[in-house]
Structure 1
Amino acid sequence: MANQISAIRGMNDIYGDQANAFDYLINSAERVLQQYGYNSIRLPIVEKTELFARSIGEVTDIVEKEMYTFADRNDDSLTLRPEGTAGCVRAVVQNGLVHNQVQKLYYTGPMFRYERPQKGRYRQFHQFGVEVFGLASADIDAELIILTARLWEQLGLDGLELQINSLGSQQARAEYRDILVAYLAQFEDQLDEDSKRRLHSNPLRILDSKNPEMKTIVEQAPKLIDHLDEESKQHFEQVKAYLQDIGIDYVVNPNLVRGLDYYNRTVFEWVTTELGAQGTVCAGGRYDGLVEQIGGKSTPAVGFAMGIERLVALLMDKQLVGAQQQADLYIVTVGETTSRPGMVIGEMLRDALPELNVQMNCGGGSFKSQFKKADKSGARFAIVLGEEEVNQQQAQVKPLREDAEQETIAWSDLTAFLTGKFAS
């Protein structure tokens, strides 16, 4: 026998209850986004490497160390997408979707980063992303945060903390960068290797360091929020006012800078302490310069992404999503002439009672073995067809979850009978 081939490390199969939780989360998110008037967009998994180098930033960890990049047969450099925003921006620019119009879009799918796998963080991971183009005002920043809060409420997720900050304008950020570098340079010999490497290339990322030995240096660093331009201050105050009006609690985290170079003004994260070190489950912010950076006309933009694996882990840990969907009705057929009528009855019931899960026994089997499958399916009733029932156009309806008598029902009365049973 040939050696068994296993999945690549950090790229996992999703099945059973976890797959059910995935579907539940994505379907819930889509319903919320549609409530707010957002539309779906489908994006390629592979893009030109230049797209991510230009948008994310060549000196970020993602571009320097984490991307899956390869040359195709034409020797073009291609990359498996490490995040969704850049591809979405490329799509709306290429297809002319942001010319004098507002776009409110959402997408979902796998992303790829070569990093150390751990709970809720994998080399192939899934995101649900939302992007808005063409609106510069604070109300849309607030709406994105508010609709995520609505999703947590609908999912039953509590204990998530909202952290917000403002990165100001590009000019204010550049001026602050010089102030921060001057401060950090005093402690260069105390910085860890990552921070030394970032000091002159991406110093704001040092503020996001998780190294406890850097804690004092980071806490005492000048705060970007104290160096905002006046327009950005007003924008941030408006965002906070909207959140207060809706009753959404938040914490202003002056060290929240996000890992990607393209952000400006509002940034936010929803975090939890229940997933170890990887506590961020949803994050985003405003990126007004990115559309122009990728080749479009200057267009304000804001968005966020949710980590599906992390949220699924929370849902399952808190037992907020059910097991794989169970049957309501299970059709048992015994005899050579029963399977075809059984199939017809199954379709009739699905047409008439679309809210019910109707499972048909396929593959034959003895009466006893079929009832074992019916019981295992979780069905409330078994619909039993023998040759005698087929001849008389009747079915036996046997309760599987309660102590009640089996009843003989004519096919023409079956829908009304079962409607009454599931209504009670």
Structure 2
Amino acid sequence: MLHIGLTGGIGAGKSTVAAALIECGAHLIDADQISRDVLEPGTAGLAAVIEEFGPGILSADSSLDRPALARTVFGDDEALRRLNAVVHPLVRAETKARLADLPASAVVIHDVPLIVENELAPEYHLVLVVGASAATRTARLQRDRGMSVEQIRARMTAQADDAARARVADVWIDNDGARERAVAEVAALWRERIAPYAGNIAAQRGAERPERPELAAPPDPPRTWAVQAEAVLDRLRRAGGDLVRSADHIGSTAVPGLAAKDVLDLQIGVTDLAAADQLAGAFARAGFPRLDGHWYDSPKDGLAGPGTAWDKRFHANADPGRAVNLHVRVAGGPGWRYALLCRDWLRADDDARSRYQRLKQELAATTASTQEYAAAKEPWFDQTWPQIRAWAERTGWAPPPF
């Protein structure tokens, strides 16, 4: 099952995008609607809210007076916390019940206005943000809801701004213009990314990647490689729970200023490889199926005893729009240490970084496949290992605690 979080500021037009996704075949879970449903007359939820805030939040017909409740909690963090403590568990339980009725292959759209504000992005395979200018949103809210400028400004101020939304957006859907343009953008997204992603998760396979190596320019802020990596690591931490001892961004995209393929290399540290095997199912459901085969790292002198196997587990992202290599290694083990040490050395040594970049550019231009490209780089790491080791000894380098 593919879970997509859909969010956007008030008046941005999430309903337009949600309707377009449903037309493509998605199933909608509307958090606002569920929060209304669990507070209907006669429900345990409404009884709990009355007990918390008193009968003044009821209308004459004994239903919830939502404007009155909004006035009670607006601007009062403690009151809002109390309300959320009642409503959020009920919404989660109802959401879980509705998901249980859907097919395992479903694409589920979670319409959640406060994904950014409540830091919910790690719960979804993708986060779609619907955006529009403040002027467009204001005009829509005045026209469609009869809201005053003051009311609109207060609601916008209470929500995350576009910079915060852009930071978590796997996809930004521009809904500033004609509805037809946004609908066409959604259709293309479904065809090119969402449907293949769902198919890959169902089949437990990684997404297809270009055969030839190609170095990419680092993405502009706010969705830098570092930001994207941390977002994926947050999802992996959530999926793996206590079995995840450490989670780090490694490889070329973790070194600012270094040319790189647009592939995030990530490292999960575990207690042992039995724990890595336990994580396989959880990571597959999170969108990172394990690849078959015997995966291991090239040993380096001094990091482990002679003949020590540097075995690991290897996963790839099922998302065709975001390539990820996921290395699951024993935390504190030699392969785990080397990945962090090499990254930190390249970050610190300008000359080494320049030499490595020249090599990468040369090999990207002369090798025919990513596999050939990776194999051609390996001797460079063996040659530079004495320099890396000397740097670590000179600086007192140590890996982060786990």
Q: Which has the higher helix share?
A: 2
Establish whether TM, by shorter chain, passes 0.5.
Answer: no
- Smaller-chain TM-score range? under 0.3
TM-score (normalizing by structure 2): 0.24
Q: Which has the higher strand share?
A: 1
